[in-house]
Structure 1
Amino acid sequence: MAPSFLDGNSLFNFVVRDGNGVKGMVDLGLSEVPEKYVQPPKERIDKLNAIIHDNPPIDLSKLDGPDHDLVVDEIARAAETLGFFQVANHGVPVDVLESLKDAANHFFGQPPEKKAAYRVGASPSPSVKYGTSFVPEKEKALEWKDYISMLYTTDAEAHEYWPKECKDVALEYLRTSMKMVRKLLKVLIGKLGVTLDDSNIDGLIGLKIVNMNFYPTCPNPELTVGVGRHSDMGVLTVLLQDGIGGLYVKMEEEIDGKRKGDWVEIPPVAGALVINVGDTLQILSNGRYKSAEHRVRTTSTKSRVSIPIFTIPKPTEKIGPLPQVVEGDGVARYREFVFQEYMNNFFSNAHDGKKSLDFAKNI
């Protein structure tokens, strides 16, 4: 018998505990969004009045030519203001990006029991987790999203435990993206007047997580969110959008006629990747670079996929503002901590803008 989506407990058990996800609920037929997914008015996304972020992607191939310094300035300015930018000629083959989107749609198109085999408590590996929303047990309104999260340790473990529907292309996406991440990180840290060697960078991006996110069609997209307001906890995030769009970023300060607090849409650009600054890079830069507060809307016309790679410090890594930056600023805006503590705090709370950074602030 189909569960009653009018009953909150029945819905929660079906979607979250039994691993059917939002897609399982949608596939049973919905004419309206269940109450458990209706967001408070202040969290809803006004698509009609959205501001479009129309800056063209940054051409990373120019880092190796006479325009190197101009491109470095462009990357740094984006990290200092919006915390988001798109890149072209990034080194990840376009056919890999297309295969990645196909693989994500294929994985989420499977019967619920195939996906639920990876939920917490059932997954063959703690490195692979299928779920829905972010912290469903703590959220007043659930996010309209299902996901598979794959923590990278070794190629061998990935080949053994990652879902066969997506593991090969996800590994290729990760491998080719990491060359770009290292290059961007050297550029951004170098712009702070600091030089990091490869072992320093290894510590800062020692954890890599590939997520595949699926946003099913929604009968009332104006009432829901795919992902609520948050910033990412790591150093840099690499994101592949499909052609549907729905990513919104909050302006940290006034720039190019856009006001502080405005939400701007980052439209998908064919062949481009989105890069965003995470909390860790904001802390390392003593606040010069801004981790981007962002969120995702839903749509009634077509399901959407997005595939981020989160680059994160090793749990044992000590994180704090870089001493050379603090010396120049005259004040440390954040304290030093072991990154595992930050992770524990981040995953213990529902999304709530950039409150995750409060954990690291010097009081």
Structure 2
Amino acid sequence: MVTSSVSVAVLDMQEISKQPEKMVKALERWGCFRLINHGIPINLMSEMKATVLSLFDLPLEVKQRNSYPGTLMGYIPIYVSSPVTESMGVFDMAKPEAVDEFCDQLDVSPQQRESMLKYSETVSAIADELGRKMMENFGLAGENLFKGWSSHLRLNRYCNNAQTVGSTVGQRHSDESFLTILLDDERVGGIEILDEQTEEWFPVSPMPGALLINTGDIAKAWSNGRFCNVKHRVQSREPKVRVSIAYFILGPRDTKVESPSKLVDSEHPQLYVPFDFKEYSKLYFSSSQCANGGALEFFHCAN
């Protein structure tokens, strides 16, 4: 069931810096919020969207150069179960050399390379700041939550048409990651989030100049169940091309995903055993049920 558009919390980056509990409250209830005054210039956001559109217009043989052997991080073409969607990826975008590798793969222009490097630097800084404020809220100030974690940038194009309007073009899922920073299309909506308390779907309307922040499975495990791993999907609303740029903070490389001891007490017993992110990621992509938060059940302390 889909109801009228939900007004997710709109938070100012400066407000979060002073009152991180507002961010935490939004993530506990909905698992997402809109972020304004985030520091990414409007012209850079526009440049990134223009770059994405131009990259998807490249010949197929060029787009297929975007690949990371043994992973699903590279180019994914339109296929039967996703008839309007194609995507590209930049693994470990927080590293300038990873952006350069992606740009080399697709022979992007110097201006496009510069835009991607600037965006990478800025969005990575936003992620780090949000992570620091989460730690501060839980009494863990001074620690860099995402230090040494892997990241992934996903570029998506939805070629909506008259035949797809009203259908789902991005299947229901929760993100495998801890944090997602989404630059969505202010011209064409499509995102819907699930209210797990009522089992109702709510459209999330575009908001020009804002980012959409959401938490995924790793955040739910790390926070000992406090953060919502919001379920979401993408609907074809109108016959227009839609683009989105999603930056994922995935998980730790060399340590296990584990709740800090301060988040475990008699009122909040430990919910999940420590687990390896790479192991989790393989399980997540093994089935649609696992991609709906089901993979976490394999690591529940009750199992």
> Under a length normalisation based on structure 2, what TM-score does the superposition of the two structures give?
0.87
Matches within 5 A, 1:82-231: 82-118=30-66, 129-132=74-77, 141-142=81-82, 144-152=84-92, 154-162=95-103, 163=106, 164=108, 166-195=112-141, 197-198=143-144, 200-203=145-148, 206-222=149-165, 224-231=167-174
Deviates more, 1:181-190 or 1:159-168: 159-168
Flag the 1:280–1:95 CA change in 2: closer, same or farther, 3 A: same
Whole-angstrom distance in 1 between the partners of 2:204 and 2:274: 33
Unaligned residue ranges in structure 2 (runs of 5+): none
Where does residue 177 of structure 2 map in the other structure?
A: 234
Quick check: 1:170–1:210 contact (8 Å CA) kept in 2? no
User: What is the CA deviation profile of residues 315-348 of structure 1, one whole-angstrom value per residue up to 9, with x for unaligned ones?
Assistant: 3321122222112535111111111111111223
Whole-angstrom distance in 1 between the partners of 2:85 and 2:114: 23
Where does residue 234 of structure 2 map in the other structure?
A: 296
Quick check: 1:151–1:209 contact (8 Å CA) kept in 2? yes
> In the alignment, does 2:295 pair up with 1:356?
yes
Report the structure number with the largest CA radius of gyration: 1
> Under a length normalisation based on structure 1, what TM-score does the superposition of the two structures give?
0.74
Unaligned residue ranges in structure 1 (runs of 5+): 1-45, 254-259
The CA RMSD measured in Å over matched residues stands at 2.5
SS in structure 1 opposite 2:292?
A: coil
Flag the 1:182–1:161 CA change in 2: closer, same or farther, 3 A: closer
Flag the 1:117–1:183 CA change in 2: closer, same or farther, 3 A: closer
Quick check: 1:128–1:161 contact (8 Å CA) kept in 2? no
Flag the 1:328–1:353 CA change in 2: closer, same or farther, 3 A: same
Task: Number of aligned residue pairs: give it.
Answer: 294
Whole-angstrom distance in 2 between the partners of 1:63 and 1:344: 34
Quick check: 1:130–1:148 contact (8 Å CA) kept in 2? yes
Deviates more, 1:54-63 or 1:316-325: 54-63
User: What is the CA deviation profile of residues 57-113 of structure 1, one whole-angstrom value per residue up to 9, with x for unaligned ones?
Assistant: 21112345xxx23xx232111100110100000111111111011111111122323
Deviates more, 1:229-238 or 1:339-348: 339-348
Where does residue 278 of structure 1 map in the other structure?
A: 216
The one-letter code sitting in structure 2 at the alignment partner of 1:51 is: S
Matches within 5 A, 1:327-346: 327-346=265-284
Flag the 1:222–1:179 CA change in 2: closer, same or farther, 3 A: same
Whole-angstrom distance in 2 between the partners of 1:328 and 1:301: 52
SS in structure 2 opposite 1:319?
A: coil
The one-letter code sitting in structure 2 at the alignment partner of 1:227 is: G
SS in structure 2 opposite 1:292?
A: coil
Quick check: 1:83–1:292 contact (8 Å CA) kept in 2? yes
What is the aligned-residue identity percentage? Answer: 23
> In the alignment, does 2:271 pair up with 1:325?
no
- Deviation of residue 119 (structure 1)? 5.2
